[in-house]
Structure 1
């Protein structure tokens, strides 16, 4: 072959080698370490996290694999945010309650008391009105991509039934996030306990009640074995669980795998929220049949105290910064459109 023939062939060979190298890179399998705040016994560990692992593995053809670690496996729940931010691990599940020191919208994402009355209102606020975009902007400042797993209710389970405000004030409750301060303002003693220690704390009398999501969370954690009273209406409705992903880890993936990840996380929100609503009704029937669980309301005087405490919680979240204040403005406008007072008072205002 002549020199000029070899010269003419060289670019084609280079292109072929380049395409081959890109294809090999695109087909390479990447494994991410994922630290969860859910204990393996929690219903969301299988229904949310294991499902996401299996779905991503299938949709990427094995190019993105998730190595799962249940609560406490690598890091404590309050350490996950920083571990993912620093890139020590690529992904985590958290409650926004654990990120309130870093993200000013985290408390609102977790769910404000006396705001939403049901899940569809929270869905609309997060996705249609754009609140989740605000939370993502907040997380992006830390190099993280934030995606809400689902919106659902926070509901108390109790070992005894309070009949008076004094009974309620005598309770020690396990709580987190915005609800921790809220329940304190409402008159209860409040403690923060990891989910992995919650059953022992209830069974030994360290706490008299707790919220771990709602019925499904309590049932999966065996809380009804020692806490027979389930309180409604809910304390709050919010995006109580979320995924956080290191943005540099995402950017290092092939573009099609990135898109699969984003699409799957977005789909996860709708699938898990709707699945959870159905699951709550099914779980309650099972809890009542197997554990004699009784659904109760708190005394009216206690509910009045809680409505007053809700106003304090709302102002506390508004004062966290400009992004939080903008989110609170959006929330109050939304509730006003629904004909409800945007103050946590439970009063109804005239629509303009």
Structure 2
């Protein structure tokens, strides 16, 4: 459903056929203001915003220029949605699970607990109807949105102490946005949503006992290893994290078809390149963290089971929302239709390759 009303006019020709007026597109060069949820220099995520902006300019031969505003330069990290929806800014680049207060289904276009991996996300988005559902959701808020980045599977996070049972989350001051954060709240954690650029200080000051961010490369760049040495490598909360590029829909529709295609193409290319950027850097960064004395851990099965129960409870609590249910069912149907082949082909191959050749 689109919350805006569109006026359509027609004229009847002598033959009785209706003739619609051709769209009027803005002429000449144009600068679009992009607000982001990222501080300048945040590894990987700000890179995705920058690549999207640079590619839009290149693909339009300079007819469109994107002026990037990092978090706090025009609006706060979590205020970018309202800024673009209202027309204060033209575009945003963000992780859309920051905007659950606008609609809980936005979680699916970042990542949900026990959800889709990056490969599964792209299959759903480009071949399983996810892109169309993203657009349907965006229309409600006057946005035209595309995936434009992916971090891969995110780490379980940094903790001041080892976590040996679900009881260890009781009262823990933890930074984790999205539905994963809500699941941790079910386990007794005191969950906070803090913009990425503010996490280091919160952890260093003791305002946080633990935090998740992205993965070894981005986390090393953020400096969390300077504060704590307990690092859980695999998390349940964000298995294939999408980043989004959204344009105010009135602005988007005022662009030429070629310019609109340039934005969509820039987002798609950034989506693929950004995933490669993260994965290429995570492995070497993990080795550096180990060499620096970081203890790399995994949650035990008892904890994973607790994550699962809490996650299902959170997800089910939103099923009375028709659009959330539609998007959840679509994503899970896509996963079900592809996981059988992936588990029997790629997953087996990787396990056997590592067994034969070494990891």
TM-score, with length taken from structure 2: 0.80
Match of 1:184 in 2: 185
Matched, 1:247 2:246: no
Match of 1:77 in 2: 77
Residue among 259, 270, 273 paired with 2:272: 270
Aligned partners of 1:169, 1:104: CA distance in 2, in Å?
A: 25
Match of 2:298 in 1: 297
Q: Is the 8 A contact 1:165 1:299 kept in 2?
A: no
Change (3 A) 1:109 1:51: closer
Q: Is the 8 A contact 2:169 2:188 kept in 1?
A: yes
SS in 1 for 2:101: coil
Match of 2:288 in 1: 286
SS in 1 for 2:251: helix
Q: CA deviation at 1:170?
A: 4.3
Q: Is the 8 A contact 1:37 1:77 kept in 2?
A: yes
Aligned partners of 1:256, 1:335: CA distance in 2, in Å?
A: 33
Q: Is the 8 A contact 1:39 1:196 kept in 2?
A: yes
Larger Rg computed on CA atoms:
1
Aligned partners of 1:293, 1:147: CA distance in 2, in Å?
A: 37
Change (3 A) 1:258 1:166: closer
Q: Is the 8 A contact 1:173 1:188 kept in 2?
A: yes
Match of 2:118 in 1: 119
Matched, 1:150 2:123: no
Give the number of aligned pairs: 314
Matched, 1:229 2:230: yes
SS in 2 for 1:149: strand
Aligned partners of 2:267, 2:165: CA distance in 1, in Å?
A: 44
Aligned partners of 1:216, 1:132: CA distance in 2, in Å?
A: 29
Match of 2:98 in 1: 98
Aligned 1:1-352 pairs, distance under 5 A: 26=27, 28-116=28-116, 118-151=117-150, 152-155=152-155, 156-235=157-236, 236-289=238-291, 291-319=292-320, 321-337=321-337, 338=339
What's the CA shift string for 1:213-267, capped at 9, x where partnerless?
Answer: 2223312222222132221332222444211111221222233222212211122
SS in 2 for 1:66: strand
Change (3 A) 1:97 1:256: same
Aligned partners of 2:131, 2:261: CA distance in 1, in Å?
A: 18
Aligned partners of 1:312, 1:328: CA distance in 2, in Å?
A: 14
What's the CA shift string for 1:109-133, capped at 9, x where partnerless?
Answer: 23221233x4212222222212232
Q: Is the 8 A contact 1:36 1:70 kept in 2?
A: yes
Q: Is the 8 A contact 1:122 1:237 kept in 2?
A: no
Change (3 A) 1:63 1:190: same
Q: Is the 8 A contact 1:32 1:90 kept in 2?
A: yes
Q: Is the 8 A contact 1:105 1:134 kept in 2?
A: no
Q: CA deviation at 1:273?
A: 2.2
Q: CA deviation at 1:339?
A: 5.6
SS in 1 for 2:67: strand
Aligned partners of 2:162, 2:198: CA distance in 1, in Å?
A: 23
Aligned partners of 2:289, 2:144: CA distance in 1, in Å?
A: 36
SS in 1 for 2:264: helix
Aligned partners of 2:35, 2:138: CA distance in 1, in Å?
A: 17
Change (3 A) 1:303 1:104: closer
Please report the RMSD computed on the Cα atoms of aligned residues, expressed in angstroms: 2.4
Change (3 A) 1:208 1:265: same
Change (3 A) 1:224 1:102: same
